[in-house]
Amino acid sequence: MTTQNERTRFLLGEHEIPQAWYNVLADLPKPLPPVLHPATLQPVGPDDLAPLFPMALIMQEVSSERYIEIPEPVREMYKLYRPSPLIRARRLEKWLDTPARIYYKYEGVSPAGSHKLNTAIAQAFYNKQEGVKKLATETGAGQWGSALSMAGAFFDIEVEVFMVKVSYYQKPYRRNLMEVYGAKVHPSPSPLTEAGRKILERDPDSPGSLGIAISEAVEVAAKSGGSVKYSLGSVLNHVILHQTVVGEEALQQFALADDYPDVVIGCVGGGSNFAGFALPFLRERLHKGLNTRFIAVEPRACPSLTRGKYAYDYGDTAHLTPLIKMHTLGHTFVPSGIHAGGLRYHGMAPIVAALVDQGLMEAVAVYQNPVFEAAVTFARTEGILPAPESAHAVRVAMDEALQAKAEGRPRVIAFNLSGHGLLDLSAYDAYLSGKLEDFEFPPEALEKSLADLPKVEMI
Ligand SMILES: *Cc1c(COP(=O)(O)O)cnc(C)c1O
């Protein structure tokens, strides 16, 4: 007999998919610093962003409404894979011999393989509503590119993807997947844009970076005369808004489990899966005076929150995007070619950056070998092969459980398993054959890239 206490999977019905996304801007203790125009350094208005995004997304970007309704067609598509399960990691707990209770929200059930489809569907929907026929975007490991390509196929929108070159060659199957969905994929830097050509002139062997790929995609949209819009898979407020569907479901699922997390963990590239999972729990903490801890996990090779500067910087390498205040390693920083391609971004979501700056969230940085060690343990106990990005969260969830064991006290740990790693097997191969480097963070490179930060008077 299985009693309620022994349940492993906490599942919701389709009708329990949240009706609204949660907008943390309504609850932030201090408002976010304004976003600045790259030429005038004055706060941007909606019209400045109109060449890149449809107006509905721009209005979400600046909205201070606490809840924004999820359009019915978006909820309908969410039904393909939502609500995603919340799973109690009973076999991992046993293996660790810990008094901690570990739960994970599994976003790898999305047909694109990660949480990214949550915002890809929403963004494609709003673009379609405003008559957009083509979207340009960047992708690191290819998770975002696959999600947007799939959403493009659903809404009959063409998708052009600039994929960071090192990942383009590390992860050929991701490119194949995007092409199956009908997208066009280029390795970045590419000779197709001015931004790409400039980088190639200086460094023909550039491995690429998300900052460079963003420049190329933004350039394609900006020069299209309105026929192409740009789409971003993380960082921006509206992307994080869409991802809160994850945390809203998790809150309902913890009620089913009759439990509540002491610590909420997620990996951070641009910050969207972590924030989407954590922010509804942060709302509860602020409204109810709870002590929930929030931990963002980043790679030691690209440690924006733990080693970067909280300052205004460009979102891309070629200075085409507005300036945002965030923890940044500098827009010219090119991180080592770690396998968690989705975590190789120089900046951070301004929402996550502000919350870390205000002490409401913590951050830690981890090396890739211990990350893969945790991922393999997770696969051998729970069965799921984590994406290398998500494995960063697994590492820290396990560390928290081991700490609880050392203290001999229970602790409820919740983490977001943002995606599966079935298309990342070459990374696992490198780990298992002992070929993975624990890239040490290069302080000289940081000094150089921080010197390139734009000079902006502090507001
Ligand atoms: C893209 C990606 C990330 C990193 O991006 P965030 O915006 O920080 O979530 C993490 N995990 C997976 C599986 C991804 O695809």
Q: Which residues contact 440 (CB under 8 A, 6 or more apart)?
A: 300
Strand (E) or helix (H) holding 211: helix 210-222
What pLDDT does residue 442 have?
82
Q: 36 pLDDT exceeds 60?
A: yes
Interacting residues of 22 by C-beta distance below 8 A, sequence separation 6+ = 66, 67, 241, 244, 247, 248, 279, 280, 283
pLDDT at 15 over 80: yes
Cα 268 to middle of ligand 1, angstroms: 7
Confidence label for 121 from pLDDT (cuts 50, 70 and 90): very high
Buried b (16+ CB within 10 A) or exposed e, 329-357: bbbbbbbbbbbbbbbbbbbbbbbbbbbbb
3-state secondary structure string across 400-429: HHHHHHHHCCCCEEEEEECEECCCCHHHHH
Q: Work out the average pLDDT over 83-110.
A: 98
**What is the distance in A from the centroid of ligand 1 to the CA of 117?**
11
Q: Are 99 and 404 in contact (CB under 8 A)?
A: yes
Q: Which atom of ligand 1 is nearest to the CA of 116?
A: 15
Q: Are the C-beta atoms of 119 and 239 separated by less than 8 Å?
A: yes
DSSP letter, residue 447: H
Given a contact cutoff of 8 angstroms between Cβ atoms, the answer to whether 90 and 8 are in contact is: yes
Give residue-wise pLDDT tens across range 389-408. Answer: 999 999 999 999 999 999 99
Instruction: List pocket residues of ligand 1, CB cut-off 6 Å.
Output: 114, 116, 143-144, 234, 267-274, 342-343, 387, 389-390, 418-419
Is pLDDT at 156 greater than 80 in this prediction?
Answer: yes
Q: How confident is the model at residue 441 (pLDDT cuts 50, 70, 90)?
A: confident
All structural domains of the chain with their residue ranges: 9-17+71-113+237-446
The pLDDT value recorded for residue 439 is 84
The predicted-structure confidence for 355-381, as pLDDT tens digits, reads as follows 999 999 999 999 999 999 999 999 999
Please report the atom of ligand 1 found closest to the CA of residue 276: 9
How much is the pLDDT for 204? 96
Cis peptide leading into residue 85 (ω within 30°): no
Which residue is listed with tokens 């997390």?
Answer: 261
Condensed to tens digits (0 to 9), the pLDDT of residues 199-228 reads 999 999 999 999 999 999 999 999 999 999
Q: Is 84 a residue whose pLDDT tops 90?
A: yes
Distance of CA 136 from the midpoint of ligand 1 (Å): 19
415/265 Cα distance (integer angstroms): 5
Share of the chain above pLDDT 90, in %: 92
Percent of the chain with pLDDT over 70: 98
Question: The tokens of 16 are what?
Answer: 């329990």
Atom of ligand 1 nearest to the CA of 243: 9
Q: pTM here?
A: 0.97
Residue-level pLDDT at 25: 97
pLDDT for 31 = 94
Residue 420: beta bridge partners? 386
* Interior/surface letters 80-107, b for 16+ CB within 10 angstroms, e for the rest: eebbbbbbbbeebbebbebebbbbbbbb
Average pLDDT over residues 245-268: 98
Q: Mind listing the pLDDT tens digit for each residue in 283-340?
A: 999 999 999 999 999 999 999 999 999 999 999 999 999 999 999 999 999 888 788 8
Domain 9-17+71-113+237-446 fold: Rossmann fold (3.40.50)
